[in-house]
Each structure stands twice: as C-alpha cells, then as structure tokens.
Amino acid sequence: MADTKELINALSKKHGIERKSLLPILQGIVEKENYLSKDSMLEVAKVLDISAAEVYGTASFFSFLDTKERGQYVVRVCKSMTCDMKGKEEILSTIESVLKIKIGETSQDKKFSLLETNCLGLCEEGPAMIINDDYFVKLTPEKIREIFGRYLRNEI
C-alpha cells in the first residue's frame, strides 16, 4: 500500500490533480500494478478529491482499466469478425490449454490473465492478440505455443 501511495503521488505530480487527470493516473497504476485495487482507487479518490464511486464508475467503463485482479501479462485475444473468421476459436482454446486458464481467469502464479477483446485493428493480419502493449498477428496454434513458451521460460 505504501508503494501504491507513492506511485499515485508520483502520477498525480506528473498528470495533475484535476478531474481530467483521472484516466492517465488510472492507466499509470494499471501499468505498474496490472489492475486497480480497492486501495488504489480509494487513494486516487483522495488525491483528486472525488468520490470513490466516481473513480470506480469511470474505471469500470473502460476495457483496459481492470478493476479485477489481473496477472503480470494480460492476454487479449481479438474476437471481432475477421479474427473470428480466421480461427480465433482455435487460438483461444490453444491458449487455454497452454496457460491452463479459461477466458476471464488469471493463472495461480498471477503471471497471466486471459481475456477476449473487441477489434484490435489488426484485421488484415488476424487472428490477432495483444499481450500488455505488444501485438501478435497471424496467429496459429504453433505460434501460440512458441510465444507463450518464451513467456513461460521468461525469455520476454
């Protein structure tokens, strides 16, 4: 919690303490802590002097401001039309079997969370996914095993 406080303090110095600073601050927390914990949202409410309900209400609107605990690597597989056409289902089931988690779940070691997401704008190279900020395209089951192999071996 002390770390979270420091982090939010630093973020508020960088982005300001006006209402318009809310999104950048929340994004900064997610970047460091993978999600927005109850304590972090309360601290943001305090720093910006807005109600905690408003912080939560705003955060929960956006897909990338997770208010549920997430792992170090958040995998978002595109489920929009062209990725679906190109075999998203198979990609998902491969990831599920490699990481041993289902959609919406986080691995026990808190390393991975698996989510579906709407269009990533990588349609011409689907199926696609992003892991945190990095994107991966033209996915195949083999490619998935190779990518996550590297993550699992801590090569990324």
User: Which residue, 51 or 93, has its beta carbon nearer to other proteins?
Assistant: 51
Residue 16, sorted as left (phi over 0), alpha (psi -120 to 50) or beta, turns out to be left
Tell me whether residue 20 or residue 109 sits nearer to other proteins (CB atom). Answer: 20
Minimum distance of other proteins from residue 89's CB (angstroms)? 11
Give me the least distance between CB of 43 and other proteins, in Å please.
8
What are the start-end ranges of the H helices in 63-113? 81-85, 88-99
CA distance linking residue 26 with residue 34, whole number of Å: 11
Given the rule CB under 8 A, which residues bind other proteins?
Answer: 18-24, 26-27, 38, 41-42, 45-46, 50-58, 60-65, 67, 79-82, 84-85, 117-126, 130, 133-135
Ramachandran assignment for 132, one of left (phi > 0), alpha (psi -120 to 50 degrees), beta (any other): left
Other C-beta atoms closer than 10 Å to the C-beta of 23 total 14
Amino acid making up residue 23? L
Cβ proximity to other proteins: between 24 and 149 the closer is 24
- Smallest distance, Å, CB 52 to other proteins? 4
- 128 in Cβ contact with 118 (< 8 Å): no
Closer of 118 and 154 to other proteins (Cβ): 118
In angstroms, give the least distance from the CB of 20 to other proteins.
5
